[in-house]
Each structure stands twice: as C-alpha cells, then as structure tokens.
Amino acid sequence: MGITKSQIFTERQNDLAQFFKVLGHPARVAILQYISKQNACICNDLVDEIGLAQATISQHLKELKSIGLLKGEVEGKSMCYCINVERWTELQNELNTFFNKTKSNCC
Amino acid sequence: MGITKSQIFTERQNDLAQFFKVLGHPARVAILQYISKQNACICNDLVDEIGLAQATISQHLKELKSIGLLKGEVEGKSMCYCINVERWTELQNELNTFFNKTKSNCC
DNA sequence: TTTATATATTGCAATATTACGATAATAAAA
DNA sequence: TTTTATTATCGTAATATTGCAATATATAAA
C-alpha cells in the first residue's frame, strides 16, 4: 500500500492529476510567479528570493520542467529558465475544459 | 526536513498550492468527474465505479470537502455528495487569474 | 429492539515527497 | 591550467500520502 493505483484510472485522469500535483507546492507556485515577474530568470536568484536551499530549488525546477511548464537555456554559466507559454496556455485550456465539464447542478 | 516550509510563502501561494494538491490525485479527479456525470452521488457507487476500498474513497471525499469543492447531505442511510458549484466557479476564476498573471514571454 | 446497510474513523504498512549537505559537472574568468 | 561561480545529482533524514482492514457510527427496515 501507499502507492497510487494509476492503472485503474484513465490516461487523462492521471495526466490531469499529475499536472495539478506539480502545481501543488507553494515553492513551485512561487517560482512560476517570480519567473514571470522577471521575464527571465536564473536559478541562483530563486535561492535568495524564495529561501530554500539550492538543491531544493533545483529539484522543484526539475518537476516544473517534467510537465513542460518551464524551458531552460544555458546562458553562460547560468541557466535561463522561462515559462513555456505555449504549454502554459495549453494546460490552462485543458483545465478550463475540466472545470466546465465538471461543473453541474444537483442537490 | 521533509516538511513543507509553508511559513516562507504567502497565504495566497499556500492556498493555491493546497487547492492544486487536492486535485492532484487521479482518484479525486475521477470522483469529481463521476459526481458531475451523475448529477448526484452516493459514496457506495464510487467504490464500485472507481475500484478503491470504501475507506479510501471516504478519505478522498474528505479532502475534496476540505477545500469546499464538495458538499454532502445525508439522504436516508446514504450520503448525497455534490459539487459546490459556487466554490467550483470561484476556484476556476482564481486559477485563471493565476494563469493569466503568470503567462509571460521571455527567452 | 434487532438487524442490515452506508459512511466515517482509526491504526498501520508501504511508498512518496520535501529539504538539505556534500559533491559532481559545466563553463567563464583569471 | 587553475580558480570561481552556477546548476545538477546523490544520499539521507524527516514527514506526508496512499490504501486498506477493522471498527465505530448512524439510520432505515424488520
């Protein structure tokens, strides 16, 4: 036990949940907000800005990358992490579809 | 370690993350979809429909209730769980605000 | 009241997540 | 090449989540 039974759900249910899960940590919400405010970003800024260890920030960035929300480019000896706007919009649309479909009246 | 450092984030960041987190499990996505499809619901249906133990379903329902997404009414010896449409719409709006604010171009 | 049915709670084992120090990897600067 | 700066990865401890059996609670039916 303790393991999520992904196999009993549809691919779409797992994908939606995975996406929500990645956004389900305040550090990752904060990272996205900060990056968008800067219009550019290097990881080291985030360590100062957010107040978590460098290893921890790096790990959170990896998760945001895993669902395609961030793209990173090497820029000298830093990384330039940015929001992948296309993916971002795509996910926003999927979310709204989910919300609109699920909305219903009963009771 | 191992504990999320909520105190270093804003209330809004924590709230948004908490909301995403609750939706971040395929069983809870499936529950919401199923309830909305039925326009009414009793927990026992969900056990058959989703294929998790009764105790597990009950726990997931509790989490959905914790962020106000579901409201439950006693109906005879069953429960009638329904989507709280007002809360649902409210959260959809908050999400869109977050998405629109965060969307930006760089790199 | 007793029994049956539906849901909630408790306790626990398995697994996942969070956080961080240490260290590796990479690339610019000296 | 050596040093410095930046980011990634590894290993590990603390905590959280998932799932379920067992049990408690609550209500309808007998």
Ranges in chain B, pLDDT < 50:
none
Q: Do B17 and A24 touch (CB under 8 A)?
A: yes
**Phi-psi sector, A52: left (phi>0), alpha (psi -120 to 50), beta:** beta
pLDDT at A52 over 70: yes
pLDDT of residue B31: 96
Q: Which domain range does residue B53 map to?
A: 10-93
- Residue B104 included in any domain: no
Pair type for strands B70-75 and B78-83: antiparallel
- Residue B105 included in any domain: no
User: For chain B, what is the domain count?
Assistant: 1
Cβ under 8 Å to B: A residues 30-59: 30, 32-33, 35-36, 38-41, 50-52
State pLDDT tens for residues A54-105: 999 999 999 999 999 998 888 888 899 999 999 999 999 999 999 998 876 6
- Residue A1 included in any domain: no
CA distance B16 to B33: 21
- Residue A106 included in any domain: no
Q: Do A36 and B103 touch (CB under 8 A)?
A: yes
pLDDT of residue A83: 92
pLDDT of residue B104: 66
State pLDDT tens for residues A9-38: 999 999 999 999 999 999 999 999 999 888
Question: Which string of DSSP letters, residue by residue, matches A30-66?
Answer: HHHHHHHHHTS--HHHHHHHH-S-HHHHHHHHHHHHH
- Residue B75 included in any domain: yes
Q: Name the CA dihedral angle for A22, A23, A25, A28, rounded to a multiple of 10 degrees.
A: 100
> What is the CA B9 to C1' C27 distance in angstroms?
33
- Residue B32 included in any domain: yes
pLDDT of residue B29: 97
pLDDT of residue A77: 84
**Chain A CB within 8 Å of residue B67 CB:** no
**Chain B CB within 8 Å of residue A97 CB:** no
Q: Among residues B21, B107, B91, B17, which one has the least CA distance to residue A33?
A: B17
**Chain B CB within 8 Å of residue A80 CB:** yes
CATH number for the domain including A71? Answer: 1.10.10.10
pLDDT of residue B38: 82
pLDDT of residue B88: 93
- Residue A40 included in any domain: yes
pLDDT of residue B10: 97
Phi and psi of B106, rounded to 5°?
-155, 170
pLDDT at A107 over 70: no
